[in-house]
Structure 1
Amino acid sequence: MSILETIKSRRTIKKFKTDPVHSEKLMTWLEAAAMAPNHRMTEPWEVYFIGQETRAKLNHKTNFGNAPVLMAVLSKHGATALETEENALATACFVQNFNLAAWEEGVGTFWSSIAAAANKREILGVPEGYDVIGVFGVGYPEEISEPKPRTPMQNKLKELP
């Protein structure tokens, strides 16, 4: 699959099969994710793999679609407000690289912002000085939804003098 096909076909997965995702594959995708652009090479991301006990405490309304792998991706704060923002943006690029690398091999993801809440951060043991970019279910899709309509890019373009 070409990169354009991968990007255009990627979907958020809401129901996963129980088939395991092998740790070697996860590491391959994480290593690819780490090639994300990040200003001043801060490499601000950290990944927490979430076990069953912690998952139960998170108490997500859909249990992350029963994904066999659950992970949180954190972004470290920078020395300045600007660097903290740049780090969060770099970590979002890290996440997108991971999502696309996994999708190319038939594995989908579900991105949840559940850990933005203080009590969920506490459950995950997120230290001060970190933002949680998301909690991700990862696995083989049980269902793949149709693409949602997008605003034509022509409607999003502006030309400056």
Structure 2
Amino acid sequence: MKILETIHSRRNIKNFKSDSIDKELLNKWLQAGTMAPNHKMTEPWEVLVIGEETRAKLNHKADFFDAPVVLAVLSKHGATEIETYENLITTACFVQNFNLAAWEEGVGTFWSSVGNAQKNREILGVSEEYDVVGVIGVGYPEEINAPKDRKPIQEKIKYLP
């Protein structure tokens, strides 16, 4: 797939097959995540692979749509408020790189903010020096939803003098 095709075709998956995900492929896509823009090379991300016991405790109404793999992606706080903000942004780019790399190979993701809830932070063992950028279900799609309409970018561009 070409990058624009990958970007335009990617969807949040809400119905996964039970097929397992090869660990080497998962690591390959996570490694692609590390190529995200990364101010001062802080590499603030950490990835938790969530096992069945922990997953069962998380408060997610759809249990991540039965995805065979569930990850939590964390962003380490920086030395300053600005660095913490930059770390969050680069970690979000890490997640997007991961999502696109997986999608290009036919594997879908569902990105949830459920990890931000204090109860879920405790279940995941996340300390106060980290933010939870997302909990992500990963697996082969059972079905792919149609794209949702987006506003034309022209409506969102402002030209400054």
TM-score, with structure 2 as normaliser: 0.99
Alignment match, 2:45: 45
Give deviations 1:16-45, integer Å, cap 9, x for gaps. 000001000000001111011110000000
Deviation at 1:60, TM superposition (A): 1.3
Alignment match, 2:91: 91
CA contact (8 A) 2:59 2:114 kept: no
1:134 aligns with 2:134: yes
Equivalent-residue separation in structure 2 for 1:50 and 1:74 (angstroms):
13
Give deviations 1:36-94, integer Å, cap 9, x for gaps. 11100000000000000000000311010000000000000000000000000000000
Gaps of 5+ in 1: none
Deviation at 1:143, TM superposition (A): 1.0
Identity of paired residues, percent?
A: 70
CA contact (8 A) 2:59 2:120 kept: no
**Match of 1:101, SS?**
helix
Opposite residue 27 of structure 2, the aligned amino acid is M
Alignment match, 1:13: 13
1:3 aligns with 2:3: yes
Alignment match, 1:55: 55
Deviation at 1:11, TM superposition (A): 0.3
* Residues 59 and 117 of structure 1, relative CA distance in 2, 3 Å threshold: closer
Deviation at 1:12, TM superposition (A): 0.3
Alignment match, 1:100: 100
Structure 1 stretches of at least 4 aligned residues deviating more than 4 Å after TM superposition = none
Opposite residue 91 of structure 1, the aligned amino acid is T
TM-score, with structure 1 as normaliser: 0.99
Query: Superposition RMSD on alpha carbons, in Å?
Result: 0.5
Of the structure 1 ranges 98-107 and 29-38, higher mean CA displacement relative to structure 2 is found in 29-38
**Match of 2:11, SS?**
coil
1:78 aligns with 2:78: yes
Gaps of 5+ in 2: none
Opposite residue 88 of structure 2, the aligned amino acid is A
Opposite residue 142 of structure 1, the aligned amino acid is E
Equivalent-residue separation in structure 2 for 1:94 and 1:17 (angstroms):
25
Equivalent-residue separation in structure 1 for 2:127 and 2:118 (angstroms):
11
